[in-house]
Amino acid sequence: MAIADWIRERKAHLDLFDETKTQYQYNPLYLLGPMLYYFYLLTVVSGVILMLWYEPTTSGAYDSIVRISREIGRVTVGGVVVPLGSLVRGIHKYAADAVFLCFILRIYRMYFAGEYKRPGELSWMLFFLGLVLTMISGVTGYLLIWNQRSFWAAKTILTVPVYLDELTAWIPRVGEQLKFGSMIAYIFLGGSAIGQATITRFYAIHFGISIVLLLLIEVYVYRTRRARLKMSWFPMLLLFLMVLFVAWALPAEMGRRADPNRTPLPILSDWYFLALYQYVKYTPPLWAGLGPGLLIGVGMLVPFLDRSKSRHPLDRPLFLVLGLLALAYFLGFTALIMWNIAQIEREPPIVLLATVLIMGGGFLWHLRRRWQEARAVAAPPPAAVRTRQEERA
């Protein structure tokens, strides 16, 4: 089949917002599509409001966040002071967290339910790409607070691409000057260190990704007449009140102003990047740089790597084991970095050995399952069935 035909067929079956799965709407896992769009809309709207007072400079960013949180929109209701600026900032943060959560749960649902199989390949790939772009938008937005935590988190993440310099270092004569990884870091930094150029670029990337994604979604909906918000007003009101309550009960972190000369220990960022930090601690520099890219590449190609016909997880043992392993490492590494636990002389070999053994076991299980299927196909029909077939003949 030509590539154009392949794309045409998959586009006809795109289901980005679970609009074709209305028969499962009693299950919250099948409301993740419209919930994701709703939280995404809350994030964009609250972000546009914050732009009115935010100042994207190294000298003014932190002070503008303090002003938004403590001074903007202070109203008194029944004798209680309500900080509207702080609430809008909290809605922006927690709605964005909800977007990540919906993305991760939706991708895991598609993975374990085999929804990436034909004709769902394009839906899977677009969702996976959307998660990657949202993570980039998240890390670029995180630096904009310009506090200690965001500054050092951005510094750690931008160090990862530099490890890729080892890939080009072996090339004679030009390898030492090429420095592919440093070029990637330089593009984001705008210089040799985090400064005004960095915050300007991060602000543009953070805003640009959000708006471009929203425009693409609206064009897609306009051209296909698809639905992206198949929810009544009651769950939407309930979800908004939940975000509002969290924003009021747990105001978004302010922290201390960024100080390049003072390193906090441990260095932490938003929850979705914590596992990556522990991974960087455990692995050699080159693999710390290659790992995220390989993970994204494999994730995008899953529909083409899994050649089994069944969608049931037990009929796809290797992919079931890989999915559970990824989930276990995400949760485990996140917990270890939060508690600042890492014995880099002892734990990396144990983690590597456990990974090899578990993946090896999953591979053998997969081979056994394929062998059983092949044997069932090759086996002759039961005697009773054969007799009836002979009588009819």
Question: Which residues on adjacent β-strands are paired with residue 257?
Answer: 147
pTM, full prediction: 0.88
**Looking at the DSSP assignment, which residues form a beta bridge with residue 74?**
83
Q: How does pLDDT run across 172-203, given as a tens digit for each residue?
A: 766 667 777 888 888 888 888 899 999 999 99
Which of 189, 204, 199, 195 has the alpha carbon at shortest distance from 157?
189
Distances in Å between the Cα of 133 and the Cα atoms of 36, 137, 196, 226 are 14, 6, 23, 23
Residue 175: what pLDDT? Answer: 67
Given CA atoms 228, 231, 235, 236 in this order, what sign does their dihedral have? positive
pLDDT at 392: 57
How far apart, in whole angstroms, are the C-alpha atoms of residue 258 and residue 202? 16
Residue-wise pLDDT for 148-165, tens only, equals 988 988 888 888 888 888
Give the pLDDT of residue 28.
Answer: 84
pLDDT tens per residue across all 393 residues of the chain: 588 888 888 888 888 888 888 777 778 888 899 999 999 999 999 999 999 999 999 999 999 999 999 888 777 777 777 788 999 999 999 999 999 999 999 999 999 999 999 888 999 999 899 999 998 898 888 889 999 988 988 888 888 888 888 877 777 766 667 777 888 888 888 888 899 999 999 999 999 998 898 898 888 888 888 887 878 888 899 999 999 999 999 999 888 899 888 887 777 778 888 898 888 888 888 888 888 889 899 999 999 999 888 899 999 999 999 999 999 999 999 999 888 887 887 888 999 999 999 999 999 999 999 898 888 888 776 665 556 556 655
Q: How far apart are CA 181 and CA 169, in angstroms?
A: 11
Question: Beta partners for 76?
Answer: 81
Amino acid identity, position 211: I
Count of CB atoms within 10 A of residue 272's CB? 19
For residue 1, the tally of other CB atoms under 10 A from its CB is: 7
Q: How far apart are CA 31 and CA 255, in angstroms?
A: 35
Are the C-beta atoms of 24 and 224 separated by less than 8 Å?
Answer: no
